[in-house]
Amino acid sequence: MLFKTSKTQLALAVDLTLIGVIQLAALGYGLYSLTSARPLALVFEVDRFRVVSHADIEMHDQPYLPSWAKPWGLQGVRVMGLRAPKSADERVANFDAALQGVEVGQRPQRWQDYRLNHMEVRERAQPLHKLRAARGDQKATIDRAVAQALKNTQAQETQDGEALLWLPLVSRGTLDWTVLLDPITLRVRAYAPVDGFI
């Protein structure tokens, strides 16, 4: 028992102080874990999107993070694209990093405005009917994602759910998600827990 009438005031104060310090340390660790796991960016990588959290960024790559991508920031997730390697050395460095498990989307020095990748996204994105055909057993899940996408419509975007496009979505721990894209703006409209690799 913490509180005993036989303890002196000093002993009680020391006990309560130690408990307070332990609780604050646990709170600090919890906040650190939350900020490390919080998604920073959704990065288009060749034929898929990758969710990138602060924990996915190697220490030597962190200085390249944009100001909005700091772990304590209150910004939402940003959709980014990737620029082509500037040199053969950069291409080799990317290959070497990939062999070590660091994908190119986890390297913020390669991030660029998503709009600069619209042509590649349009070339790689698939029509929704292909996902439905390949994942017929997940019709209800796909239908829910399409309904969510239709609730998330902006000006000049399609109102036709069957016109949506899709690409696989990956993260550190999962490969079985899909993003639904607007066919006009290529904005991410919704997510579906459906394996997009077919």
Q: Which domain holds residue 134?
A: 125-198
- pLDDT of residue 31 exceeding 80, the answer is no
pTM of the model: 0.81
Average pLDDT, the chain: 89
For the chain, how many structural domains are there in total? 1
Q: Does 62 fall in a domain?
A: no
Question: Phi then psi for 123, rounded to 5 degrees?
Answer: -70, -35
Q: Does 173 fall in a domain?
A: yes
Q: Does 193 fall in a domain?
A: yes
Nearest to 165 by CA among 193, 192, 141: 192
Model pLDDT for residues 142-178, shown as the tens digit of each residue: 999 999 999 989 999 999 999 999 999 999 888 899 9
- pLDDT of residue 32 exceeding 80, the answer is no
Q: Does 132 fall in a domain?
A: yes
Q: Does 161 fall in a domain?
A: yes
Q: Does 18 fall in a domain?
A: no
Q: Does 51 fall in a domain?
A: no
Q: Does 129 fall in a domain?
A: yes
Which residues are CB-neighbours of 103 under 8 A, at least 6 positions away? 45, 50, 97
Model pLDDT for residues 56-76, shown as the tens digit of each residue: 888 888 888 888 877 666 778
Contact 163, 182 (CB under 8 A): no
Pairing state between β 177-181 and 165-170 = antiparallel
